[in-house]
Amino acid sequence: MKSGTTMRSYGLIVCTFSLALVACNGAPQAPAAQVPGAQAPVAGQPGAEAVTASDMSNAQAQSMLGTESLKPSTGSVSAATYAFSGTVTQGPNKGTVLSGPLVLKLRALGGGRQYLEGTLSGNVAVRGILFRDGSSIVLFDVKPQGIIGRGNPGKAELLSGIFIGPDIFGGDQGKWTAKLEAAPVTEADKSGVRALHASSDTPAVDLFVDGAKVSPAAGFTFRSIFPGNVAGGGYAALPSGKRQVKVCATGTTVCPVDAALNLAPNTRYTVAVIGTLNADDDHGKTPRPITPLVLEDRAPSKSDKAQVRLVHAAANPAADVVDVYVTAPDAKIADLKPAIGGFHYSTNSGYLALPAGDYQVRITLPNTKTVVIDSGKLSLAAGKVFTAFAVDPVPGSKDFGAVLLQDN
């Protein structure tokens, strides 16, 4: 906590945050009707559950917050952090500044109340009560004396109040604000994302996440990935939750892909840009518009086997439906049935568990043995997980291809 002047005559600061704390605990209930002239009960006495912050004198508030029964050992706990700032503008302590992060834990009490406990700026102990009507009283342990603050209702994210000197001291007045801060993103709240450029007629592209460019200056081109496929990595760490992703032609504002993704924590994803940018590339047949294909890269653990997932990302209508053969290297397929028959564009096989060893994947036109993609020899180790994408020919070529990515 900062001090603009030497702290004189400080001890207890009590602030009414009111609706600011409701953001962590749902909408407030309506306050109970009060009997005119009735004295508010204090904690531990009959009727204490009906007390609200406005019912209590400063002395009663201090007495209530000193009651040990307000510190239960059980109850659901939530947390909130506020940017707190206050200045004494007149009185003996004029110019004193109170500011810093106010970190509070909220524990459920009886009667629809919450017990508040935490610190201001990490070194000033704080305790308080959130009442059932949404108002609150908070006690800051600043010694030797103190100031009482009564807050005014406002928005859930931002409240203000006035410091008033306790009756036995008097004189101090000022203003404070408490703004609810967003919870910090932790490692558990991050997701892994990589992008594959699988649109043959689309030039080099840039990748934007929430409006910020994350790809290299030169972008990345057909059949390449970002940020790379290094073993055990190759994913960019992004905050979990809703992210807006754009894919734009490098150096332009032409963005054929603009999609909202909802990323789960501790989960990896591959976003493949598939389809064709120009209608002419569909040869007058079924259009394959450019679109993002989002895959969750989460294979069940199989330490004794390799796992492979096949994805049909070739937009050329000539390969709209294909057959897939998975064999030992150089095995003849003439008399074999396909491992996957009738494999359609933009679909995937799911993860296939295979014994560790050498394999060859061949993709043929449907109901024929005409191979359009040949992986060659693939050595698959136990415990490793891969995704193989069937992709269109490079412009100027007739040869379909494959991109093999490691998922773990």
For residue 282, the domain's CATH number is: 2.60.40
pLDDT of residue 42: 44
Residue 4 lies in a domain: no
Domain boundary among 267, 298, 329: 298
Pair (342, 265) in one structural domain: no
Give the domain CATH number at 400.
2.60.40.1120
Encoding tokens for residue 344?
A: 């359609």
Pair (293, 201) in one structural domain: yes
Domain boundary among 276, 298, 320: 298
> What is the pTM for the complete model shown?
0.57
Give the span between the Cα atoms of 386 and 400, in whole angstroms.
19
pLDDT mean across residues, the chain: 76
Encoding tokens for residue 1?
A: 């906590």
351, containing H or E segment: strand 348-355
Residue 264 lies in a domain: yes
Pair (330, 196) in one structural domain: no
Pair (18, 156) in one structural domain: yes
Pair (164, 91) in one structural domain: yes
Pair (173, 210) in one structural domain: no
Task: Give 80-102 pLDDT, tens digit per residue.
Answer: 888 888 887 877 667 767 788 88
Encoding tokens for residue 32?
A: 């109970």
Domain tally, the chain: 3
Task: Give 145-175 pLDDT, tens digit per residue.
Answer: 556 556 555 444 446 666 665 543 456 677 8
- For residue 310, pLDDT over 90 is answered with yes
Residue 6 lies in a domain: no
Domain boundary among 180, 198, 214: 180
Enclosing domain of residue 244: 187-298
Pair (394, 361) in one structural domain: yes
Where does residue 58 fall: left (phi above 0), alpha (psi -120 to 50 degrees), or beta otherwise? alpha
Pair (240, 287) in one structural domain: yes
